[in-house]
A and B are shown apart, each in its own frame.
Chain A
C-alpha cells in the first residue's frame, strides 16, 4: 500500500501583498477587491533571488526523515505544473539529486496533470516501489515551482500563484499515512488551459464544483469511506470561496478544510495539499487513525482526490 513517510514544506520569507502583484499584472480593482474580500487571498510568497533548485533544496533540507536513508531512495520525482521551466540543458531535478547524494536514484518529472500532478506522482511512486518489491525502498517527490513569468503568476478571476514548495517521502509498505483511495478525472475538452476561449472558460467554471465534488466522492468510495467518516480535507489553495461553495454542495463542514494558508501562500502549483498537510500536523489537527483527503485541480483539466489514513 502506498504511504507517505514524511512531508516537509517550505515557504519563502518574502511576502508580496496581492495589490502589489495586481498592479504589476494589470488586475482591475474590482477583481482585487474580490480576491481579498471573498477569496481570502492577502499575500503570496516569493523568493526573488532563489532558483527552482533553491526552492527544492529548501524543502529537502527540512525533511529530517530523509537523513541517513539516502541509499534507500530509488526514485526522485518532480511533479510540476509547467512543462518548461529552465533553458536546456539546465536541469534542477538532476542538480538536486546530485546535491542530496541521490545519484543512484532514477529521476524524472511528472507534468501531465498540471497542478494535480503532485497526487499523480504519489500514486506513481507507490506503484513503482510496489512493483520493485523492496519494502525499505523510498521515493522522494518535489512539488512547488517558480512563479517566474506573468502567465504563471495569475489565473484570471481566480487566484495568484506563489512559490511555496514541499518534499514528500513515499514508501510502499503501509503503516501511517496509508493511501486508501485515489480518483482522478481528466476533462480533455478544457485542454487549452490558460488559453481557453471565454465560452469554454465559462463552461469550465460551470462544471468545476460538480467535477470536484464527483472526484472527492469517488476517492472516498474507493477508500470504502463516507463523507461523514472524513476528518479533514487538505485542499488546493486556489481560493477560499471555492471550498466554501464545495462544502455547501456536498454537505461537509468548512471548518474541517485546512484553509489557513490561503491568505499567506496563494496557490503554489502542485504543492498546496502538501503544505497544508504540514500545517495540519503543526496544528495537531491530525490524530492517529484520522482519515484525510488531499484534493487538487490542474488546468487542462484534471480533478484529483486522494484519501489517506494518518
Chain B
C-alpha cells in the first residue's frame, strides 16, 4: 500500500490506543489486556476484529487490508505493523 499521508503516530500512544479499543470491544478493563496475546484467545469475535480495523483506519486516516487483524493477531504485532507503514519501504511479516 502507499505510504500514509498523516503524521506518524507515537508507537507507545498507538499501542495504548489499540489496547483501549480492544478492551472496549471485549468489555474488559484495559489493564487486563496482554498486548502479546492473540486477540482471538480473548474471544474477540471477528465482527469486532473488523470494527477495530475500521477504527484504526479512521484514527490514522489510512486504508488497510481488511484481514489485518488476522494477519497481525496481537496488539504488539498490529502496532509494529502499523508503525512500519510510515517507513519508506514497509516490510511484511504477516503470519
**Nearest opposing residue in chain A for B47, CB measure:** A157
Max count, chain A CB within 10 A of own CB: residue among B47, B50, B70: B47
Closest Cβ of chain B: how far from A4's Cβ, in Å? 34
Within 8 A of A (CB), among B5-52: 25, 40, 43, 45-48, 50-51
Q: Please tell me if the beta carbons of A30 and B66 are within 8 angstroms of each other in the complex.
A: no
**Nearest opposing residue in chain B for A30, CB measure:** B51
**Nearest opposing residue in chain A for B25, CB measure:** A30
Max count, chain A CB within 10 A of own CB: residue among B25, B40, B66: B66
Q: Please tell me if the beta carbons of A33 and B66 are within 8 angstroms of each other in the complex.
A: no
Chain A: interface size category? 10 to 19
Residues of B contacting A202 with CB < 8 Å? 40, 43, 45
Q: Please tell me if the beta carbons of B54 and A33 are within 8 angstroms of each other in the complex.
A: yes
Within 8 A of A (CB), among B38-95: 40, 43, 45-48, 50-51, 53-54, 66-67, 70
Q: Please tell me if the beta carbons of B50 and A34 are within 8 angstroms of each other in the complex.
A: yes
With A30-B25, A248-B67 as contacts: A205 and B51 at CB distance below 8 Å: no
With A38-B66, A245-B67 as contacts: A31 and B51 at CB distance below 8 Å: yes
Interface size on B, residues (CB 8 A): 14
Residues of A contacting B47 with CB < 8 Å? 30-31, 34, 157-158
Closest Cβ of chain A: how far from B40's Cβ, in Å? 8
Residues of A contacting B67 with CB < 8 Å? 244-245, 248
Contact with B along A36-51 (1 / 0, CB 8 A): 0110000000000000
A100 within 8 A of B: no
Closest Cβ of chain A: how far from B51's Cβ, in Å? 4
Contact with B along A164-207 (1 / 0, CB 8 A): 00000000000000000000000000000000001000100110
Chain A positions within 8 Å of B, measured between CB atoms, are 30-31, 33-34, 37-38, 157-158, 198, 202, 205-206, 241, 244-245, 248
